[in-house]
Structure 1
Amino acid sequence: MSNNNKEIRSDFDEYLVPCYAPMQVVPEKALGSKVWDYDGKEYIDFAGGIAVSCLGHCHPVMLDALEKQAKKVWHLSNVMTNKPAIDLAKRLTELTFADKVFFANSGAEANEAALKLARRVAIEKYSESKNEIISFKKGFHGRTFFTVTVGGQPVYSDGFGPKPGAITHLPYNDIEAFEKHINENTCAVMIEPIQGEGGIVPIEKPFLHRLAALCKKHDAVLIFDEVQTGVGRTGTLYAYESLDIIPDILTTAKSLGGGFPIAAMLTNNELAEHMKVGTHGSTYGGNPLASAVGLAVLNEVTSGSLMEDIITKEKLFKKLLNNMNQTLNVFDEIRGKGLLLGASLNQQWKGRARDILTEASRHGLLILIAGPDVIRFTPSLLVSEQEIKEGLKKLELSIKKLTL
């Protein structure tokens, strides 16, 4: 049996469908914001499973919830009433604008449900011709054929034959383009409050507020994709709270389970009534194990001063990255909010984000990229200030190594 990084990585190439190209690092165990690979090397984790591990690795409240639920019931089909799912749904409605919740297993599935609901509402309330979905260039909403088409990155959706129709991609933060295009046949607008895969680009408030007003004018459902921004990531439970906008539908996943697969679509009573019995479903959606862990995560994130701490850590990250840049001159912008941050590479470093990621791993730091030109940081919300300082020192050493 393989028991070191090199052998296990070779087995990956041998046995898995080649749609991923992971690093040579193969984690064996993890705790908090630290990871250890099969060769015994220690890493500081600023990747967080791509904004998933919001409480870090192996947090005791998650372990406790999972163990307790595992001794009761693991799975219930949706022909039965599922108490853990009800408990989590109730808590989500207490903490957000929503009245109703639909559970799924991934962000893509939650977005699929949101898009289907929006189309259903338009057809039942208005007409078959009210079917256009507006989304935004460089957006990302998942990998199902519907959601990958709604996402504004053709590199992910091309090459699979005819795509779902009536989908329009407009420039992000461009209100003139949006005003010119939205019309009576627009049924929904799907948008990320911070474009994640698109480069960590925050939404501009004036753009969003005008967009929301135009959605109301044209009876178009406003869908917030908060798969990456949700569950405290930006310093509020969901990003819409700091934007003074209430969406019609919100999708959440990633951090909701802290690493256990779960997702949800949140909406109001008026829209929810269009999802009648049999119109949509999921075998595993709201799984009791996932729901129990999700509730534990949600309660932990909303307790104490964690939200305020996230903003303090954001300021530290940005300060240290800007200080680093004074010496290295590698970034042209540090952007994002809370602990969803991006460092955009300047002209001299364009296209080298992956090089930095790889070199950082050699120095014991795990980071992400958001396209070829942006370094992305999505650590645990509980990452310590000392770990931030140590991790960014490793990043500085990595970049210096690449300049030699």
Structure 2
Amino acid sequence: MSDLQPGAHGEAGLTRGAVDLQRYTHSLMGTYGVPMRVLARGEGSWVWDADGNRYLDLLGGIAVNALGHAHPAWVAAIAHQAATLAQASNFFATEPQIRLAERLLDLAQAPPGSRVFFANSGTEANEAAFKMARRTGKGTIIALEHGFHGRSMGALSMTAKEAIRAPFAPLLERVIFVEPTDEAALRAAVAEAADDLAAIILEPIQGEAGVRPVPHAFIAAARELTLRHHALLIMDEIQTGVARTGAWFAHQLGGIRPDVMTLAKGLGGGFPIGAVVAFGETAGALLTKGDHGTTFGGNALAAAAALATLDVIESEDLLANAKAVGEHLRTSLEAIDGVVEVRGEGLMLGIGLAHPAAATIAAAAVEAGFIVNPPSPDTIRLVPALTLTRPEADLFIAWMAEHGARLITEGSA
């Protein structure tokens, strides 16, 4: 372990951060490439690296840190639960687990008979949803081009990105992909599946594709077709859920309720947890004793973190903040030269660029003290803490106006 202080230089002039990155590359698998920085601590929307440099975190752990970093109420809830009971296995229940399930059903306005299953991640939640679809007795699933549902074999089978699918083929069969703007293709896929249609799965806003909302008319058609064919409509709200869009769940913005909703990311406010919400008696009964399980799913510590996250979102009115600060970001960024559009809802925004300069802008931004993400060559993604303030947002807006616009123009050369 390095004993260098932040900003100090050791042998060969390497800073503590550089030394730690060397240690990283020698001890961890290279599945994420070389990290941009080694982060040491965080507070609110700010993080500090191992060398003491400060950054405005506009990525939020990829939409995970809903309350920012080290929110006092969240820290206190975890500390209290850790000192009480952390993990009991699912041979036993805990009160925080039960209370969290009740809370989610209430926030989702779920009808009688609805039920919750807890997992540890979004991928695990989607695996459970996949098994629910198979429990209908049918096998074909329709998913969307450009969608992302996870990297385990079942979730990857429903993910259209060929670059991450190809090395692990063959995947599960009977998955049909359609464009999220092509309602005719959706209807043709349903006709192809016929009586074998088990489910349609979609993200209300496709995050990894560059924050691209799926048209309301397409979602309405998916709802109509699944009802007609007695199939499930599964909404992957892993990135859009838990107040990210200014509503508790993105499907509430359009008023179309799915049969199954998957959650993770922001639900734990930084603590690993996933959830499946099954709406109504039919969906709620699809997984029964022995059908599925997970050792750590719904443990008391994760449930306490999630409950604290939901409590703070309510008490600090972060749904309103997500709407207000998100709209301020949208209107301000749209006025910058080289920005052609800002997509998304609330504090889930994709900055569409006139030229493929996203990677260049993200690299320059981190050097200037801003953490953003380029999910596609012409898009910058912002999914910051729901606690982000307008003055904090203005810091990035000013940088984009002065430096981002120039980089976009240079990207056209």
Q: Considering the TM-score relative to the shorter chain, is it more than 0.5? A: yes
User: Smaller-chain TM-score range?
Assistant: over 0.9
**Residue 73 of structure 2 is aligned with which of 53, 57, 61?**
61
Q: Does 1:338 align with 2:346?
A: yes
CA separation in 2, counterparts of 1:62 and 1:132? 41
Shift, 1:397, TM fit? 4.2
What residue is the counterpart of 1:322 in the other structure? 334
- Shift of residue 142 of structure 1? 0.6
Alignment of 1:195 onto 2:206: yes
Change (3 A) 1:394 1:9: farther
- Matched to 1:111, the amino acid is N
Residue 242 of structure 2 is aligned with which of 224, 227, 231?
Answer: 231
SS at match of 2:168: coil
Residue 333 of structure 1 deviates from its aligned partner by 1.9
Cross-structure match for 1:111: 126
2:364 corresponds in structure 1 to 359
Amino acid at match of 1:31: E
Map 1:155-174 → 2, pairs under 5 A: 155-174=163-182
Deviations 1:309-352 (A, max 9, x none): 21111111012212222xxx2x3221111000001222xx22x3
Q: 2:66 is matched by which residue type in structure 1?
A: C
* Residue 259 of structure 2 corresponds to residue 248 of structure 1: yes
Q: Deviations over 1:7-47 (max 9, x none)?
A: 11111111111110244321111100111111111111101
* Cα distance between partner residues in 2 of 1:315 and 1:271: 36
Shift of 1:151: 0.9
Q: Which residue of 1 aligns with 2:389?
A: 384
The one-letter amino acid paired with 2:400 is L
Letter of the 1:248 counterpart: D
SS in structure 2 at match of 1:135: strand
SS of 2:180's equivalent in the other structure is coil
CA 165–271 in structure 1, closer or farther in 2 if over 3 Å, else same: same
- Paired residue total: 390
Contact 2:176 2:189 in 1 (8 A): no
| Change over 3 Å in CA distance of 1:400–1:25 after alignment to 2 | farther
**What secondary structure sits across from 2:30 in the alignment?**
coil
DSSP-derived class of the 1:302 partner: helix
Post-superposition shift, 1:152?
1.4
State how far apart, in whole Å, the 1-side matches of 2:54 and 2:93 are: 44
Q: 1:277 aligns with which of 272, 289, 292?
A: 289
Match of 1:186 in 2: 197
Farther-moved stretch of structure 1 (251-260 vs 299-308): 299-308
Deviation at 1:79, TM superposition (A): 1.0
Residues 247 and 151 from structure 1, CA distance in 2 versus in 1: closer, same or farther, beyond 3 angstroms? same
Residue-by-residue CA offset, 1:259-306 (whole Å, 9 max, x unaligned) = 000010000332222312111000010011110010111122133532
Q: Report the Cα offset of residue 371 of structure 1.
A: 2.1
In structure 2, distance between residues paired with 1:300 and 1:40: 29
1:286 corresponds to: 298
Paired position in structure 1 for 2:154: 146
* DSSP 3-state at the match of 2:164: helix
CA gap of 1:316–1:239, structure 2 versus 1, over 3 A, is: same
Asked whether the equivalents of residues 142 and 189 of structure 2 are also in contact (C-alpha less than 8 Å), the reply is: no
Looking at structure 2, the residues matched to 9 and 396 of structure 1 have their Cα atoms a distance apart, in angstroms, of 32
TM-score between the two structures when normalised by the length of structure 2: 0.91
Shift of 1:138: 0.4
Any unmatched runs of 5+ in structure 1?
124-129
Whole-angstrom distance in 2 between the partners of 1:305 and 1:286: 26
Percent of aligned pairs sharing the same letter: 36
Letter in 1 for 2:284: A
Per mean C-alpha deviation after superposition, the further-off stretch among 304-313 and 5-14 is 304-313
**Aligned amino acid, residue 17 of structure 1:** M
**Contact residue 199 and residue 342 of structure 1 kept, 8 A:** yes
Q: Is the 8 A contact 2:48 2:54 kept in 1?
A: yes
Deviations 1:72-124 (A, max 9, x none): 1111111112222111111111111432110000000000001101111x21x
Structure 2 stretches lacking a partner, 5+ long: 5-15
Alignment of 1:300-319 (within 5 A): 300-319=312-331
Structure 2 counterpart SS, 1:236: coil
Q: Is the CA contact (8 Å cut-off) linking 1:131 and 1:166 kept in structure 2?
A: yes
Distance in 1, Cα, partners of 2:405 & 2:165: 37
The 2-side partners of 1:215 and 1:189 are apart by 7
Cα distance, 1:178 vs structure 2 = 0.6
Selected match of 1:212 from 216, 223, 243? 223
AA aligned to 1:172 is P
Distance 2:205 2:212 in 1: 5
**Given residue 303 of structure 1, which amino acid in structure 2 is its aligned partner?**
S
